[in-house]
A and B are shown apart, each in its own frame.
Chain A
């Protein structure tokens, strides 16, 4: 099992989908049980990776390698080639966890076409895991594109009133981004051939040749990748599909969309854009490239937060808050230093945990009242006390309160940005303040005060199944908030490697000289040693 753990984790959900196909569609409960069993199995089977990976965390390079380059379609140099490092490991764990939670949370929400729903969801799960595991560009692209279809159907079939518009917008936007990326992949592939004489899509091998591409070509390739990933993240101004897709998607779809799918963009930046194109990102030779991206990130942070502030629909509010939070993630990545990158990766995990939870929270109210209008609610804490408590924890985690996960991530990102430029950090800070405003104001309007609306008087508090969905998220939020050191240790090696590729001249002492506030003792400085 040790040698094939990645394939097993990857294909467990797909196997579940195939098993579901055999169950007659009338047996809705049987379908639900089987789907939940497989998603739970998918989570459980990925757990052994934790100790195994922990043991290897300091080794460089990809681990748990499976398959080899050029084994799948030898004539074009594509291979079934999997492997993970600290970055993909964390995202894979997030995916298996959120996959289980999403499927668990759909038990009552989905009443129509139950079978298809779970089949597509499990297929989606395999697609997402494949994206994080693939070490072959062709394979990566296959998963990247294949994943579009189930997500498209999840939004389009089980979505809200404007689902058709939202689904097709999501699909076309992402497809346009990915076909441009395909061009850049092909260019890298042929460039590799010109240099080495071998045709291969193997990512580790392309790492060797891509950085030597001259700037005037590389900038276009970088742009092609950038647009593909920026649409996925989504960065301002490519974000317009996100609110539509989120608002119309079913709850579980939103959780997966926010929790995992958006991370594919940031993952793409860390895995491809940075190590492939250090010549483009070189902050001394070409400051404009990085400057533009940072500016877009900061605009995203502020703009997303401001738009969240004025939303009347809870789900839309959470959706726009994602734009703001992901702005932090890209800011961290393109700070191009150890703190920024580690903070960004941690914030990606955090965002998966807290925003995933926020969508669940909105979904729970929606299931009971079938409206997400903030004005319809008020005084909910009187009728649903457990729900109110959990919501408070997750809101605090999302806005970055110390002792909870969001704080560590945002703090480390800001630290990374601060090292590069004090102005960047200064511009990003309002995002934190605004996050507190829109979340607390939302909380106040929904939960505090008397119950004005008679429809809200008899709302049922959380069922044990619903509580179960939140338990792992809350535990993780506290754990990361209190003791993030192991997580930083896991990401330490790959992040260092990226920084070294992108900025070989930048050595670690810069970090150590920066005064570290006492609240963040467990930050990557220590882990970096």
Chain B
């Protein structure tokens, strides 16, 4: 008999599933030419309710479903974060879908359902469940990436993401299997106690393979090759979603698996991946002219910074990861939301040249994008600054001076390409006539939310930092 509190511990996911299915069921009842804003509203309601449910969980921390999931401050933080990302992306998609003539309500359903996977990833403490959650979240995003059905590039993006993604999850599964072989269990906590008595080579290989799968999801080098192509082709709001949500979830899993099990040999794995991601991401971004590709490379580099905090281990490192994930979500969703608005019908206007002179044509939008760019650089008064500061602080505390030096030099290099966006917007005259549409209300709300979050995390980060610290302590015991 499953106690009823177990259902509360799964409540946010359940709500999303109900609303996701509801959207799917209503969709066929709508006429072919009706717009799908109503479905969007339902999906938004679902996302908001699941956020509220996550808050409600604070009184019900503990394990559920035979120790398959574990609700704690850590999982609640990620539940809220993923819920917020989903809500903001849904808002940002309202007009986008109309504009691109995408009349499929499944879009909203898929966002909700893949959010279910991501949320489960953050609370699961059982490797097989983690794998299933990973698959749930991935399959939704594979389909979403191909949602601009008429654009070959979108199909390409979807195919690439699907093929490589399946490989990556297969690696993860293989890792889980080896880990099971090494320790005789798939429960994170049992594995932890077994590994504490000494790790076999099998366990090392298992960890490495699991890292391959998760490294793919967070787009960290050397598993990053797919990122620019997929981000370029996928619909912009979907990119906003999949560059933040699955990333946050995969980082949550990495934190749980690595720290709860004190996995052997992970340090150099993370160290090398962090250095590669920062360096390759930033160098790649330097030469991009397509804004979506530029942001794709930037997201690789940002994953690298987060991995720096990983290498720092300890509770401060974990809380740095958590804080970074939140700040990154705010600024990146915001940046892609702006890009999705400017892209216009058929995502025609996505190169830097199309952004030339934006400071005059759309001063508000340009100013907002500037703030997101500054935050991505890590300039003070934005969440990006504090996130980076915190990451480097964590790494310094663990005496990873070499890694920090590579990190700060990278962040100085990165300033160049983020500034290029600002240069084009304010200091170049437009080459051709690029129409800027009127800002739709829903998108305005989602941008305002991202902006408010970015500034809030930069100016008054105290509460979130404390919360991140509390979550971190849950993992380090």
Q: How far is the CA of A25 from the CA of B359 in the complex (A)?
A: 13
Q: Which single member of A25, A76, A172, A190 contacts B465 (CB below 8 Å)?
A: A76
Q: Which single member of A168, A179, A186 contacts B423 (CB below 8 Å)?
A: A168
- Residue of B whose beta carbon sits closest to that of A143: B380
Q: How far is the CB of A484 from chain B (nearest CB, A)?
A: 37
Chain A 162-198 near chain B by CB (<8 Å), digits 1 or 0: 0110011001100110011011001101100000000
Q: How far is the CB of A248 from chain B (nearest CB, A)?
A: 11
Chain B 404-432 near chain A by CB (<8 Å), digits 1 or 0: 11001101100110010011001100000
- Residue of A whose beta carbon sits closest to that of B427: A156
Q: Does B21 contact A (CB under 8 A)?
A: no
Question: Using Cβ atoms and an 8 Å threshold, which residues of chain B touch A172?
Answer: 412, 415-416
- Docked-complex contact B465 and A73, CB < 8 angstroms: yes
Question: Using Cβ atoms and an 8 Å threshold, which residues of chain A touch B336?
Answer: none
- Docked-complex contact A153 and B408, CB < 8 angstroms: no
- Docked-complex contact B401 and A157, CB < 8 angstroms: no
**Using a Cβ cutoff of 8 Å, how many contacts connect chains A and B?**
79
Q: How far is the CA of A164 from the CA of B411 in the complex (A)?
A: 20
Contact A182 B462, CB 8 Å, known A146-B380, A156-B423: no
Q: Does A145 contact B (CB under 8 A)?
A: yes
Q: Does B161 contact A (CB under 8 A)?
A: no
Q: How far is the CB of A171 from chain B (nearest CB, A)?
A: 6
DSSP class of B's interface residues: helix, strand, loop or mixed?
helix
- Docked-complex contact A179 and B408, CB < 8 angstroms: yes
Contact A175 B380, CB 8 Å, known A76-B393, A156-B423: no
Question: Using Cβ atoms and an 8 Å threshold, which residues of chain B touch A180?
Answer: 408
Q: How far is the CA of A146 from the CA of B382 in the complex (A)?
A: 10
- Docked-complex contact B392 and A141, CB < 8 angstroms: no
Q: How far is the CA of A163 from the CA of B427 in the complex (A)?
A: 9
From B405, B416, B422, name the one whose CB has the most chain A CB atoms within 10 angstroms. B422
Question: Using Cβ atoms and an 8 Å threshold, which residues of chain B touch A76?
Answer: 390, 393, 465
Q: Does B270 contact A (CB under 8 A)?
A: no
Q: How far is the CA of A182 from the CA of B411 in the complex (A)?
A: 12
Q: Does B62 contact A (CB under 8 A)?
A: no
- Docked-complex contact B427 and A182, CB < 8 angstroms: no
Q: Does A426 contact B (CB under 8 A)?
A: no
- Docked-complex contact A152 and B392, CB < 8 angstroms: no
Q: How far is the CA of A72 from the CA of B465 in the complex (A)?
A: 12
- Docked-complex contact A72 and B462, CB < 8 angstroms: yes
Q: How far is the CA of A234 from the CA of B380 in the complex (A)?
A: 23
- Docked-complex contact B426 and A157, CB < 8 angstroms: yes
Question: Using Cβ atoms and an 8 Å threshold, which residues of chain A touch B359?
Answer: 113, 116
Contact A186 B392, CB 8 Å, known A75-B466, A76-B465, A172-B416: yes
Q: How far is the CB of A77 from chain B (nearest CB, A)?
A: 10
Q: How far is the CB of B414 from chain A (nearest CB, A)?
A: 10
- Docked-complex contact B409 and A74, CB < 8 angstroms: no
- Docked-complex contact B392 and A183, CB < 8 angstroms: yes
- Docked-complex contact A152 and B426, CB < 8 angstroms: no
How big is chain A's contact interface, by range?
Answer: 35 or more
From A76, A138, A164, name the one whose CB has the most chain B CB atoms within 10 angstroms. A76
Q: Which single member of A116, A138, A145, A171 contacts B419 (CB below 8 Å)?
A: A171
Question: Using Cβ atoms and an 8 Å threshold, which residues of chain B touch A10?
Answer: none
- Docked-complex contact A171 and B408, CB < 8 angstroms: no
Chain B 421-458 near chain A by CB (<8 Å), digits 1 or 0: 01100110000000000000000000000000000000
Q: How far is the CB of B82 from chain A (nearest CB, A)?
A: 24
- Residue of A whose beta carbon sits closest to that of B390: A76
Question: Using Cβ atoms and an 8 Å threshold, which residues of chain A touch B409?
Answer: 176, 179
- Docked-complex contact A179 and B426, CB < 8 angstroms: no
Chain B stretch 373-387: residues in CB contact (< 8 A) with chain A: 374, 379-381, 385-386
- Docked-complex contact B461 and A73, CB < 8 angstroms: yes
Q: Does A149 contact B (CB under 8 A)?
A: yes
Q: Does A142 contact B (CB under 8 A)?
A: yes
Q: Does B397 contact A (CB under 8 A)?
A: yes
- Residue of A whose beta carbon sits closest to that of B465: A75
- Docked-complex contact A182 and B466, CB < 8 angstroms: no
- Residue of A whose beta carbon sits closest to that of B378: A145
Q: Does B469 contact A (CB under 8 A)?
A: yes
Question: Using Cβ atoms and an 8 Å threshold, which residues of chain B touch A156?
Answer: 422-423, 426-427
Q: How far is the CB of B38 from chain A (nearest CB, A)?
A: 37
Q: How far is the CA of A153 from the CA of B422 in the complex (A)?
A: 9
Q: Does A148 contact B (CB under 8 A)?
A: yes
- Docked-complex contact B389 and A182, CB < 8 angstroms: yes
Q: How far is the CA of A135 from the CA of B391 in the complex (A)?
A: 23
- Docked-complex contact B379 and A149, CB < 8 angstroms: yes
- Docked-complex contact B396 and A187, CB < 8 angstroms: yes
- Residue of A whose beta carbon sits closest to that of B467: A75
Q: How far is the CB of A18 from chain B (nearest CB, A)?
A: 14
Q: How far is the CA of A209 from the CA of B32 in the complex (A)?
A: 72
Contact A149 B397, CB 8 Å, known A163-B427, A172-B415, A182-B408: no
Q: How far is the CA of A383 from the CA of B422 in the complex (A)?
A: 43
Contact A142 B380, CB 8 Å, known A76-B390, A168-B419, A186-B396: yes
- Docked-complex contact B462 and A141, CB < 8 angstroms: no
Q: How far is the CB of A78 from chain B (nearest CB, A)?
A: 9
Q: How far is the CB of B179 from chain A (nearest CB, A)?
A: 35
- Docked-complex contact B404 and A190, CB < 8 angstroms: no
Q: How far is the CA of A73 from the CA of B393 in the complex (A)?
A: 14
- Docked-complex contact B462 and A157, CB < 8 angstroms: no
Q: Which single member of B396, B416, B427 contacts A183 (CB below 8 Å)?
A: B396
Question: Using Cβ atoms and an 8 Å threshold, which residues of chain B touch A142?
Answer: 380-381, 385
Q: How far is the CB of B388 from chain A (nearest CB, A)?
A: 9
Contact A183 B462, CB 8 Å, known A146-B381, A157-B427: no
- Docked-complex contact A183 and B411, CB < 8 angstroms: no
Q: How far is the CB of B14 from chain A (nearest CB, A)?
A: 34
Contact A145 B385, CB 8 Å, known A76-B465, A190-B397: yes
Q: Which single member of A138, A146, A157, A163 contacts B379 (CB below 8 Å)?
A: A146
Question: Using Cβ atoms and an 8 Å threshold, which residues of chain A touch B465?
Answer: 73, 75-76
Question: Using Cβ atoms and an 8 Å threshold, which residues of chain A touch B462?
Answer: 72-75
Chain B 138-169 near chain A by CB (<8 Å), digits 1 or 0: 00000000000000000000000000000000
- Residue of A whose beta carbon sits closest to that of B459: A72
Q: How far is the CB of B226 from chain A (nearest CB, A)?
A: 30
Q: How far is the CA of A190 from the CA of B396 in the complex (A)?
A: 8
- Docked-complex contact A183 and B419, CB < 8 angstroms: no
Question: Using Cβ atoms and an 8 Å threshold, which residues of chain A touch B408?
Answer: 179-180, 182-183
Q: How far is the CB of A428 from chain B (nearest CB, A)?
A: 33
Q: How far is the CA of A143 from the CA of B359 in the complex (A)?
A: 25
From A75, A146, A157, A167, name the one whose CB has the most chain B CB atoms within 10 angstroms. A75
> Can you identify 9 A-B contacts, CB atoms within 8 angstroms?
A145-B385, A146-B379, A149-B374, A156-B422, A157-B427, A164-B423, A172-B412, A183-B401, A186-B393
**Known A142-B380, A145-B380, A190-B396; 10 more pairs at CB < 8 Å:** A72-B462, A73-B461, A75-B465, A76-B393, A145-B379, A156-B426, A167-B427, A179-B408, A183-B408, A187-B396
The 6 closest A-B pairs by CB, nearest first: A179-B408, A142-B380, A186-B396, A146-B380, A176-B412, A75-B465
